[in-house]
Chain A
Amino acid sequence: MEFFLSSMSTILKGSEVTVNLTVASLFFGAIIAVFVALAQVYGKWWLNFIATVYERILRSIPILIIMFMIFFGFPSFGIRFDPFVAAVISLALRSSAYQSQIFRGALLSVSKGQIMAARSLGMTGAQTFFHISFPQAVRFSIAPMTNEFTIVLKDTSIAYALGVTELLREGTYIVSTSYEPLLIYSMCAAVYFVMTFGTNKFVSLMEKEFAIPGYEVRGLERG
């Protein structure tokens, strides 16, 4: 029992790092995603082209390769990242590609008529975006983002490969001294499950909280 509790507290310490990795990656990913989506929806053809190439490439490379390129590759240009930072950059870049597609779909589902009405009132393009398109697109994005939250959360475990002491690595340390792999890894799995379940509940609460009365929330799923 004592072993169980001490293991649990170590794993929970690791899960704090996991949460930090997840939140930071999603946050920076979201910021990049907004710009990628803007370029795709409103940009001139060449901006649209660059954004689309960026998004397609990042969606097709395994996350481990992105991490290795950033962690091991960048030092050859004299840029050396801390493992945690390298993991966040990698996860954020990859997530931005997926989030951009969710946000792009959401932007496109704001009706043209509303945009026209906003312009007819004398709003500038920027005012129309900030007051009309953006607030609705964010709401449309919440539900399809659930999936993305879960995927990024689970993929933080790959930061293990860079030596980030997140949940899985903490678990592995315990295994290496206690030889209880099944128990310890089950505990790790349980923590992931609880976090995923909690996140999903939280997101669906947010979805209700910010729902526009009478409007179904629509958007793209990660495919």
Chain B
Amino acid sequence: MKLLEVRNLKKSYKSKEVLNGISFDMDKTETVVVIGPSGTGKSTMLKCINRLVEPDDGQILLNGMDVMKARKIEKIRQRIGMVFQDFNLFNHLTVLDNVRIGPLKVKKLQKNVATELAMENLKKVGLTSEAKSYPSQLSGGQKQRVGIARALAMNPDLILFDEPTSALDPELIAEVLEVMRKLALDGMTMLIVTHEMGFVREIADRVIFMEKGEIVESGTPEKIFNAPEKERTHQFLAQFTKFGREK
């Protein structure tokens, strides 16, 4: 059974079609990267998967469970982690509480169990020393690592990353990618939207190129980067090499 199956996902805002029939699936431990121009519906697609945005049509199965028909969507969201471009940490809570609040208040684990779990995950992102800090006292890279720890602490089946490094100063990007690389090696299932093409080549099991609400093509990084079938894919990727840099 597939870990995630998305079938014919559709979403419009007013009369504007943002997703017009997205289908793909993911196996456990797979790292799938979605690339594509901005305004193409990548964020909308991620948010439809845990129904932070309500899809108009289509089917989503997580471990065979029908996400669209879930009686309590909160139960399903617990199994799907999400990491945001703007971090979205809880400003009034310490780093520890940001990571602990899910296990404690949502999963209702005992406080000492939740604390241990939070510290374990802060260790994974290298931030145990900042447990007592507040988000505003952290660098962007540290904030995003807390965001990742917060998602990990729920012990999810899948983590969605929406441009996790796009809001970061260039010198802070590496530390976040490093954490994600480790997660991929540890066998976490990840669906990532990013423009960090070097990173994509290195860790993606599969790359999906999306444009105007559709999947144009998908395949291994070698295929997509070295021999894309579609002209649109080629054109999109050309932007990243045109200036002699692969971001």
**Residues of A in contact with B (beta carbons under 8 Å apart):** 111, 113-114, 116-124, 127, 131-132, 135-136, 139, 212-215
Contacts and interface: CB of A to CB of B under 8 A. Distances in A.
Given A120-B80, A214-B137, A114 B91 contact: yes
B134 A213 contact: yes
Interface string B73-92: 01111101110101111111
B88 A124 contact: no
Nearest to A117: B88
B150 interface: yes
8 contacts: A113-B87, A116-B84, A117-B147, A117-B150, A120-B80, A121-B77, A121-B154, A135-B92
Given A212-B134, A213-B134, A214-B134, A122 B88 contact: no
A132 B88 CA distance: 11
B52 interface: yes
Contact of A117 (B75, B90, B106): B90
Given A127-B106, A131-B105, A119 B77 contact: yes
A132 B90 contact: yes
B104 to A, nearest CB: 9
B213 interface: no
A122 B92 contact: no
Contacts of B52: 116, 119-120
Interface size band for B: 20 to 34
B141 interface: no
Given A116-B88, A122-B102, A132-B90, A213 B75 contact: no
Nearest to B94: A213
B82 A114 contact: no
A136 B147 CA distance: 19
B101 interface: yes
Given A122-B75, A123-B105, A131-B101, A114 B80 contact: no
B78 A121 contact: yes
B90 A118 contact: yes
Contacts of B44: none
A132 B77 CA distance: 17
B189 interface: no
A117 B137 contact: no
B134 A124 contact: no
B150 to A, nearest CB: 7
B80 A213 contact: no
B241 interface: no
A122 B77 contact: yes
Contacts of B136: 212-215
| Among B75, B101, B147, residue most surrounded by chain A Cβ atoms (within 10 Å) | B101
Between B77, B82, B105, B150, the greatest number of chain A beta carbons within 10 A of the residue's beta carbon is seen for: B105
B84 A113 contact: yes
B89 A117 contact: yes
A212 B74 contact: no
B92 A212 contact: yes
A147 to B, nearest CB: 23
A122 B78 contact: yes
A120 B91 contact: no
Given A127-B105, A139-B92, 12 more contacts: A111-B88, A113-B84, A114-B90, A116-B52, A117-B84, A117-B89, A121-B154, A122-B75, A122-B77, A136-B92, A213-B137, A215-B136
B50 interface: yes
B15 to A, nearest CB: 23
A122 B106 contact: yes
A114 B154 CA distance: 17
A129 to B, nearest CB: 12
Interface in B144-167: 147, 150, 154
Interface string B105-143: 111000000000000000000000000001111000000
Instruction: Identify the 9 closest CB pairs spanning chains A and B, nearest first.
Output: A214-B136, A122-B78, A113-B88, A117-B88, A120-B82, A122-B77, A121-B102, A213-B134, A122-B74
Nearest to A138: B92
Contacts of A119: 52, 77
Contacts of A122: 74-78, 102, 106-107, 154
Nearest to B78: A122
A215 B91 contact: yes
Contacts of A212: 91-92, 134, 136
